[in-house]
C-alpha cells in the first residue's frame, strides 16, 4: 500500500509489559481516561477565562458590581484548570508517544517550531492569568490596564488549541503527509478547522454546565453579592450550554466526514456509530431539561446533578469515539510500520548469525598464521601474548585499537612516545608488508 510511504521506518519500541499481554490495552484505556480529565479542565479553562474578562468588562461598562463579582469568581476555576489541565495533559501526550511513536514524533517534527508554542505560549498565558486574578482589587482604579492583561491572557490561551490540533490531525492522517508538509498546511485543512470549531463550541458547552453547578453552589452563600452572582452564573450557564451544543449538531457531521474514507469505513465497521447515537440522545435530553426550565433559576439539586451526570456520560462517549477514530485511521499505518520493522529485525538477525558462523572458523586459521609469522620474523623475542617482555604484551597493543594499517606503519617506523617506560623498538623494514598485515590482524584478534 502506497498510502503510508512517508512513515519513518524506525524500529518500534516494544512495550515493557514483562510478558503481560494486557498492558497495551490498559494503556489505551488510560489514554481515553487521561484525555477526558485533561480536556474537561482545558474546556473550563478556555470558557471561564473568556467569561472572567467578559463579565469584568460588562461590570465596568454597566457599573454593576454583580457582573464584576461574576468575573472575579470565574478567575478561580481558570487558575485551577490551567494547573490541572497542564498536569493531566502530560499523561495523554506520553501515552500517544508510546503507542503511536513513528506517527506522533514525525507530526511534531513537521509542525516544529510552532509545536513549541505549546510551551512558551502556555507559560505566558499562565503568568498573565495569575497577574489578572491577583491584581483584580489592586487595579480597581485602572480597569483598562487590568482588562488588557486579561484579554492578552485569554487570546494566548485560545492560540494553543490550533497548534495542538494541527499536530493531532497530522499524526492520525499519515496519508496526507508529503515531503514539504508544514504547520500551516495542517492548520488550514478543512478537517482541522472543523475539529477546532467543534472543540471551541464544546468548551463553552462544558463551561456552561460548570457555571450551572458553580452558580447553584454560590446561591447558597451567606454573601448577598455572591448569591446574586450565582443567579447570573446559572442563567448564563444555560445559554452557554444550549447554543454551542445546538451548533455542534451541525459541526459534528462535518468533522466526521472530513476524515479519509479508509478510516471512516473502519470506524463504522467497528460499531462506534452507536456511541454517536447515544451522545445525541443524551444531549437532546439535557437540552430539553434546560429549555423546560430556562426562565426558572430555582433548579433542584436533583436536576442539576442529573444534567452534570449526563454530561459526563456524553464526554466519555465522545472520548471513546475519538479514540475509535484514531485507531481506525492509524491502524493500517502502524501495521505497515510494524511489518517493515519486523522484516528489518529478521534480516538483521539473519545477517548477524551468518557473520558469527563465518567468523567461527576463520579466526583460528588467521591466528595460527599470525602467530607463526610473528615467530618467524622474531617478533616474539621482545613480545608475548599476555606478559610484558622487552616490549608490551600483544593484548595491551590490541587494547590501543590500532587498525591494520596503523600497526603496519608502526612496525616500519616505531613511535616510542606511544609506550613510555619501554625500550624503544627498532624499525623492522625487512618484514614484508603482507606478512605484517596478517600479524596485525592476529594482534587485533587478541582483544
Report yes or no on 365 lying in a domain.
Answer: no
Angle between helices 23-62 and 143-172 (to 10 degrees): 150
The three cell numbers locating residue 339: 511489518
Total domain count, the chain:
2
CA atoms within 13 A on the CB side of 274: 3
Residues 34, 166 within the same domain: yes
Number of Cβ within a 10 Å radius of residue 190: 10
SS3 261: helix
User: Mind listing the pLDDT tens digit for each residue in 73-100?
Assistant: 999 999 999 999 989 999 999 999 888 8
Report yes or no on 407 lying in a domain.
Answer: yes
Report the CATH number at residue 407. Answer: 1.10.760
Report yes or no on 211 lying in a domain.
Answer: yes
H-helix segments, 100-142: 101-111, 117-134
Residues in the chain, overall count: 447
Report yes or no on 352 lying in a domain.
Answer: no
Residues 262, 393 within the same domain: no
Domain end marker among 328, 347, 366? 347
Domain end marker among 347, 368, 387? 347
Write down the pLDDT at residue 153.
Answer: 96
Which helix H or strand E contains 233, and what residues bound it? helix 224-256
Report yes or no on 294 lying in a domain.
Answer: yes
Closest CA to 324 of 274, 252, 280: 274
Residues 337, 420 within the same domain: no
Residues 289, 424 within the same domain: no
The three cell numbers locating residue 3: 498510502
Residues 150, 203 within the same domain: yes
* Domain around 96: 23-347
Mean residue pLDDT across the chain: 88
SS3 182: coil
Residues 301, 421 within the same domain: no
Indicate if the pLDDT at residue 440 is higher than 60: yes
Residues 293, 413 within the same domain: no
pTM, 2 dp:
0.76
CA distances from 404 to 381, 393, 409, 440 (A): 21, 17, 9, 5
Number of Cβ within a 10 Å radius of residue 301: 8
User: Mind listing the pLDDT tens digit for each residue in 3-39?
Assistant: 556 665 555 555 555 666 678 888 999 999 999 999 9
Closest CA to 249 of 204, 291, 202, 216: 202
Query: Which residues neighbour 123 within 8 Å (Cβ) at sequence distance 6 or greater?
Result: none
Residues 48, 135 within the same domain: yes
Write down the pLDDT at residue 20.
Answer: 64
Report yes or no on 361 lying in a domain.
Answer: no
User: Mind listing the pLDDT tens digit for each residue in 145-184?
Assistant: 999 999 999 999 999 999 999 999 999 998 888 888 888 9
CA atoms within 13 A on the CB side of 433: 4
Report yes or no on 368 lying in a domain.
Answer: no
The three cell numbers locating residue 117: 508554542
Q: What is the mean pLDDT of residues 115-139?
A: 93
Report yes or no on 102 lying in a domain.
Answer: yes
Indicate if the pLDDT at residue 1 is higher than 50: no
Residues 292, 382 within the same domain: no
Q: Which residue has the cell 482588562?
A: 147
User: Mind listing the pLDDT tens digit for each residue in 226-280?
Assistant: 999 999 999 999 999 999 999 999 999 999 999 999 999 999 998 888 999 999 9
Amino acid at each position: 500500500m502506497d498510502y503510508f510511504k512517508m512513515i519513518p521506518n524506525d524500529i518500534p519500541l516494544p512495550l515493557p509489559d514483562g510478558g503481560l499481554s494486557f498492558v497495551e490495552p490498559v494503556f489505551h484505556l488510560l489514554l481515553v481516561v487521561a484525555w477526558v480529565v485533561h480536556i474537561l479542565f482545558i474546556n473550563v479553562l478556555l470558557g471561564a477565562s473568556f467569561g472572567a474578562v467578559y463579565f469584568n468588562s460588562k461590570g465596568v461598562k454597566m457599573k454593576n458590581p454583580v457582573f464584576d463579582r461574576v468575573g472575579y469568581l470565574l478567575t478561580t476555576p481558570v487558575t485551577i484548570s490551567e494547573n490541572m489541565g497542564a498536569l493531566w495533559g502530560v499523561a495523554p501526550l506520553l501515552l500517544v508517544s508510546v503507542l503511536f511513536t513513528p506517527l506522533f514524533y514525525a507530526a511534531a517534527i513537521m509542525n516544529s517550531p510552532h509545536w513549541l508554542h505549546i510551551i512558551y505560549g502556555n507559560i505566558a498565558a499562565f503568568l498573565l492569568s495569575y497577574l489578572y486574578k491577583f491584581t483584580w482589587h489592586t487595579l480597581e482604579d485602572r480597569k483598562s490596564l487590568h482588562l488588557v492583561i486579561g484579554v492578552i491572557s485569554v487570546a494566548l490561551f485560545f492560540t494553543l488549541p490550533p497548534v495542538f490540533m494541527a499536530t493531532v490531525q497530522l499524526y492520525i492522517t499519515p496519508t496526507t503527509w508529503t515531503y514539504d508538509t508544514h504547520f500551516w498546511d495542517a492548520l488550514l485543512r478543512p478537517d482541522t478547522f472543523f475539529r477546532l470549531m467543534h472543540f471551541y463550541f464544546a468548551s463553552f458547552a462544558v463551561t456552561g454546565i460548570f457555571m450551572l453547578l458553580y452558580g447553584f453552589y454560590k446561591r447558597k452563600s451567606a454573601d448577598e453579592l455572591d448569591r446574586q452572582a450565582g443567579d447570573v452564573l446559572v442563567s448564563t450557564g444555560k445559554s452557554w450550554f444550549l447554543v454551542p451544543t445546538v451548533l455542534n449538531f451541525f459541526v459534528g457531521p462535518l468533522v466526521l466526514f472530513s476524515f479519509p474514507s479508509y478510516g471512516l469505513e473502519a470506524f463504522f465497521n467497528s460499531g462506534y456509530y452507536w456511541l454517536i447515537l447515544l451522545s445525541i440522545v443524551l444531549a437532546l435530553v439535557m437540552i430539553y431539561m434546560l429549555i423546560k426550565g430556562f426562565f426558572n433559576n430555582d433548579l433542584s439539586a436533583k436536576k442539576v446533578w442529573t444534567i452534570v451526570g449526563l454530561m459526563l456520560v456524553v464526554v466519555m462517549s465522545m472520548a471513546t469515539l475519538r479514540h475509535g477514530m484514531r485507531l481506525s485511521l492509524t491502524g493500517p499505518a502502524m501495521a505497515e510500520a510494524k511489518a517493515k520493522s519486523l522484516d528489518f529485525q529478521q534480516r538483521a538477525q539473519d545477517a548477524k548469525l551468518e557473520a558469527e558462523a563465518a567468523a567461527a572458523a576463520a579466526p583460528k586459521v588467521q591466528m595460527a598464521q599470525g602467530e607463526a609469522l610473528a615467530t618467524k620474523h622474531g617478533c616474539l623475542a621482545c613480545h608475548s601474548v599476555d606478559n610484558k617482555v622487552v616490549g608490551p604484551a600483544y593484548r595491551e597493543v590490541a587494547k590501543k585499537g590500532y587498525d591494520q594499517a596503523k600497526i603496519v606503519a608502526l612496525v616500519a617506523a616505531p613511535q616510542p612516545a606511544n609506550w613510555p617506560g619501554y625500550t624503544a623498538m627498532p624499525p623492522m623494514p625487512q618484514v614484508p608488508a603482507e606478512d605484517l598485515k596478517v600479524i596485525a590482524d592476529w594482534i587485533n584478534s587478541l582483544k
